[in-house]
Amino acid sequence: MVMDDLSINFYPKTETLEDLGRGGLRLIQPRNKFRFGQDSVVLAYFAAINTTASKNLKVADLCAGSGVIGLLYAARCRQVPVLTVAVEHDPEMFSVLERNACLNARYNILPVHANLAEDVESWQVDQKHKVTPGDFKHSFQVVLVNPPYSHINKNKFIENDMARHEITGDLHAYLKAAVNLLRPLGQLFICFRPERLDELLLAAANLSLRATLIRPVQAFPDSKPKVFLAKFRWQGRANSLKWQPTLYTGDGHVKSYPTTDDGGIFSEFASIYTGGSCLKSEEMQQNIKVIDALN
């Protein structure tokens, strides 16, 4: 729970507090639930560098989790979006999202507790924010989504699988939610599995979402793509798809790369992680209220 604007509860026994190394961002994460990884970082990067410039930018971050994608995206934008609506369904993760929004208040994150499979107008928005879900319909220039990648296997479901498996909604539900939020020609950025690319393109086309960019992400030239990054435009022009060069990540350990400007195939990936500055210890603890008891 958030105590007030100047005191954000942090539970070190069950959570971590991390410096994201960009724009002064700090992030609370649960120790034993879903934690953000490489996919979130590269999606925020891909979206930020491929967003068509727009004044008074309004962004929606769906399947937001801790809020990391919306925060990293905002920190990379030339101008901070006037509003980023971050939507999360899991109650525990929503608590984390609320606190991260307060912790990084200058990035204008509005947490919304909602199931994306439900109509936008039924979403819950705290009245103190002076907006209603009805204000969200077709009002966003950008939607970001890192959805669950896998169909649910009811025989193997475990608690932490909500972020990985389509439990509260399927791919169509996530895309439909994006369409309900986007303005005409609005931009959707998504990260997804290569084995479901054809399914994504078909489902998107059925909702008038036209693919304009696709970029594979893989470890090495001789390995298979792990994920792909894609940009769509709602009611965009057909037959406008372009493929971008593969983003190579190597083993994922940035410290193993000798330099970020060596011209090698991993230099772009390394630069994604090394472009910011670290916070001092006193900056990390600012506005933090440490709670020793379990949350």
Which pLDDT does position 156 carry in this prediction? Answer: 54
- Domains of the chain, CATH where assigned: 2-277 (3.40.50.150)
pTM of the model: 0.89
| d(C-alpha 108, C-alpha 106), whole Å | 6
Which pLDDT does position 4 carry in this prediction? Answer: 45
**How large a percentage of the chain has pLDDT more than 90?**
65
Query: How large is the average pLDDT for residues 139-160?
Result: 74
- Per-residue pLDDT band at 207 (split at 50, 70, 90): very high
- When mean pLDDT is compared across 74-88, 111-125, 147-161, 176-190, the lowest value belongs to 147-161
| d(C-alpha 84, C-alpha 68), whole Å | 12
- With residue 187 as reference, give the H or E element that holds it: strand 182-192
Q: What angle do CA 289, 293, 295 make, to 5 degrees?
A: 85
Which pLDDT does position 196 carry in this prediction? Answer: 95
Per the prediction, the chain carries an average pLDDT of: 87
Going by C-beta distance under 8 Å and a sequence separation of 6 or more, which residues neighbour residue 224?
Answer: 194, 218
- When mean pLDDT is compared across 139-143, 171-175, 274-278, the lowest value belongs to 274-278
Read off the pLDDT of residues 223-238 as tens digits, 9 standing for 90 and up.
999 999 999 999 988 8
Name the burial class of residue 278, with classes exposed (0-12), middle (13-18) and buried (19+) by CB atoms within 10 angstroms of its CB: exposed
Look at residue 19 and tell me whether its pLDDT is greater than 50.
Answer: yes
Look at residue 162 and tell me whether its pLDDT is greater than 90.
Answer: no
Compute and round to an integer the Cα radius of gyration of the chain: 19
Read off the pLDDT of residues 23-41 as tens digits, 9 standing for 90 and up.
899 999 999 988 999 999 9
Which pLDDT does position 165 carry in this prediction? Answer: 42
Look at residue 150 and tell me whether its pLDDT is greater than 70.
Answer: no
Read off the pLDDT of residues 243-293 as tens digits, 9 standing for 90 and up.
999 999 997 665 555 444 456 899 999 999 876 667 888 888 888 999 876
Look at residue 136 and tell me whether its pLDDT is greater than 60.
Answer: yes
Going by C-beta distance under 8 Å and a sequence separation of 6 or more, which residues neighbour residue 225?
Answer: 194, 216, 217, 218, 246
- Per-residue pLDDT band at 155 (split at 50, 70, 90): very low
Structure tokens that stand for 265 in this block? 């195939």
| d(C-alpha 19, C-alpha 229), whole Å | 25
